[in-house]
Structure 1
Amino acid sequence: MLLSPAKMKTIDWLSQVREVAHPLSQARPYWVRTYQVGDKKAKPGAPLPPEQHPYCEFNMLLQGSGQQFIGPERFARKAGDLMILGPGIPHYGLAKAGPLRTITVFFLPTLLFELGPEADGRRVLSRFTSSTPASRRLIRPPAALSRNMASYFGGMLQEFEKPKPGSELRFRALLGMALTELLRWEAKQRPEPQITTGAYDWAMIERVLSFMQLHYKEQIYVQDIAKFAGLSQGRLQSTFRRAMGMSCMQYLRSYRITHACALLCLPGARVTEVAMEVGFETLSHFNLSFRKFCECSPSEYIRRRGRTLRAS
């Protein structure tokens, strides 16, 4: 069951979208976040600020209810609902009342290519990255499937927070089982044609993503990426945008900024050093890009982060 959007009076929150600060890499291609409010009488605001990021996001609302904003649309959510988002999609969650609990899994698109860039990997990735109505990004599964999903999400959180030998293998297995059950259920429920995976060279997309993730600290430009991929610059940009929902340079800048956010949170961080560390040639370009993604300067980000840590 897909969720229907509610009429919105304002989309002002879109001007407050922030780039999230938990960087992923090929060495650490996934990250799990949980959010919980235990008091029934509590009426929390947004669990987290409006955000966007260069990752795939798989979320489950385990307990409670609220509203979910995706772009300019608003949806009602209740316990058991799932959400699937691709890179660069602005979104915002607003809780109604506690108790509330969510688990969110973030992962690099390249993680799904482990399933095979020309087989299951591309089909699953397309569910996250294809151009699709916001209503298709929120799913209300039946009770039995919802229980299975809750078990998978709980298992992924446990493997992430309390790693043991084999935790990375088990995490991938749980993520694969969750996505497999969901997509098979969707295939049975939806009479209309499934979203096409597109006539993309997914093996090339995988190589380009891996290239950028490995070399983001270096001075690379679209012509370098195009040369690596064996494509013209125009062909590269159009193919990448259709497959991933953003241009390759937008993805690269977003990827760099998320790493910069994490570095700026470290004690003694210096803005100029961070800018050079994540691949920006000039401080002015870094400041401009950072402000575009985060709606504040790097120095202000450090001050805000310091206040947040002192208050926590």
Structure 2
Amino acid sequence: MVGKIHPLSFDPSRPDFSPYGLTCVHWKPSPMPRPDHHSEVELNFLKSGSVTYLLGGKKTVVEVGKLSAFWAAIPHQIIDFTPDTVYLVATIPLHDFLNWQLPEYFVEQLMHGRFLSDISSDRSQSDGRLFEHWVEDLQAPTSVIEKVVLLEMQARLTRMAYNLTDENKGECFTSIAQSGLNKVEQMACYVAQNYTDKLTAAQISKFVDLHPNYAMSLFQKTYGTTLNNYLTQHRISHAQRLLTTTDLKITDIAVQSGFLTISRFNEAFVRACGCSPRDYRKSHKMTEGSRKRRA
């Protein structure tokens, strides 16, 4: 008999990029004082209500009854929800996800920070049951149960990916137009679109026509992190993607991610991820077969 399951909520004291591992839980939305970041692929299934994320600088709505997925290394933060919201969240270790050899288009979109929603409208009940099974299975999992859950997750995402034909690929992206963004959200969006450039706080504040000191203070008050930290988080996320999906040299990855020197890159990466870029690549690198398939 499975005991009563209590919904979890975001812990703002958790370290950045602290791993969740393989999980599936009932989630209780709450105002998030800062973005969360972790290397897993995250699945959301909303049974009722409404949840809005700020994901990679864009407002994004989770649709009721549709499986949604995104790479959670992209800074994501719940900024709005309704009291009647009931939803479940699953996290999949990145190395497992990458080794599944899902369709290239699907993987590339997730790894570039896109929020994907299944276009199917007739799988709400079965998806709800599937998530509930995962919640129960992963309360006290064995290695066999974890393997079964991963196989089921792989099969479900494979079905989702192959639903995306050329005609309906655009329908899987759910977001709110940027015209509705306030000054702080505009700054977040500007960072998300230009983080690989040599950005400064002065440039970002000029973009929204605010004094730099006021802009930085407003940003930190709203998101619970400094503008410079937010910029660094995006660069680290970009570096993670390159480390796991390419054979680029680490020095080249540092430059392409927006870092001016390799020493600054290494320092920021270790501080954010708890390991060096080289060790991160060893832990999350795709299998050789998967890499050849994507070449």
- TM-score between the two structures when normalised by the length of structure 2: 0.50
Q: After superposition, give the CA deviation of every residue in 1:5-55 in whole Å (9 maximum; x if it has no partner).
A: 79xxxx9x956x5278xxxxxxxxxxxxxxxxxxxxxxxx9406xxxxxxx
Over 3 Å counting, the alpha-carbon distance change for 1:285 and 1:270 in structure 2 is: same
Q: Aligned to 2:43, which of 98, 103, 111?
A: 103
Match in the other structure for 2:240: 261
SS at structure 2 position matched to 1:230 = coil
Distance apart, 1:304 and its partner CA:
1.9
- Identify the range of structure 1 (224-233 vs 291-300) with the bigger mean alpha-carbon deviation: 224-233
- 1:157 and 1:83 map into 2 onto residues whose CA distance is 28
Q: After superposition, give the CA deviation of every residue in 1:71-125 in whole Å (9 maximum; x if it has no partner).
A: xxxxxx4xxx5657855336799xxxxxxxx833884341449xxxxxxxxxxxx
SS at structure 2 position matched to 1:104 = strand
Is 1:227–2:206 an aligned residue pair? yes
Q: Aligned to 1:89, which of 33, 36, 40?
A: 36
Over 3 Å counting, the alpha-carbon distance change for 1:46 and 1:227 in structure 2 is: closer
Match in the other structure for 2:171: 170
* Structure 1 alignment gaps of length 5 or more: 21-44, 49-60, 62-67, 69-76, 94-101, 114-126, 177-200
Distance apart, 1:215 and its partner CA:
1.6
Give runs of aligned pairs for residues 30-179 of structure 1, distance below 5 A: 46-47=21-22, 61=24, 77=26, 88-89=35-36, 103-104=43-44, 107-112=55-60, 128-129=78-79, 139=86, 147=125, 150=128, 160=161, 162-172=163-173
Match in the other structure for 1:286: 265
* Structure 2 alignment gaps of length 5 or more: 46-52, 62-76, 89-123, 132-152, 291-295
- 2:39 and 2:245 map into 1 onto residues whose CA distance is 26
Distance apart, 1:168 and its partner CA:
4.8
- Which amino acid counterpart does residue 22 of structure 2 have in structure 1? P
- For the 8 Å contact 1:129–1:245, the answer to whether it is kept is no
RMSD over aligned CA atoms reads 4.9
Match in the other structure for 1:242: 221
Q: Aligned to 2:230, which of 243, 251, 257?
A: 251
- 1:156 and 1:85 map into 2 onto residues whose CA distance is 29
- 1:304 and 1:284 map into 2 onto residues whose CA distance is 21
Over 3 Å counting, the alpha-carbon distance change for 1:289 and 1:161 in structure 2 is: farther
Distance apart, 1:204 and its partner CA:
2.0
Over 3 Å counting, the alpha-carbon distance change for 1:161 and 1:239 in structure 2 is: farther
Percent sequence identity over aligned pairs: 18
Match in the other structure for 2:17: 18
Counting matched residue pairs gives 197
Match in the other structure for 1:207: 186
- 2:38 and 2:276 map into 1 onto residues whose CA distance is 22
- 1:271 and 1:89 map into 2 onto residues whose CA distance is 25
- 1:311 and 1:169 map into 2 onto residues whose CA distance is 29
SS at structure 2 position matched to 1:265 = helix
Distance apart, 1:294 and its partner CA:
0.7
- 2:221 and 2:267 map into 1 onto residues whose CA distance is 26
- 1:260 and 1:89 map into 2 onto residues whose CA distance is 17
Which protein has the bigger strand share? 1
Q: After superposition, give the CA deviation of every residue in 1:263-295 in whole Å (9 maximum; x if it has no partner).
A: 112342211110111111111111111011110
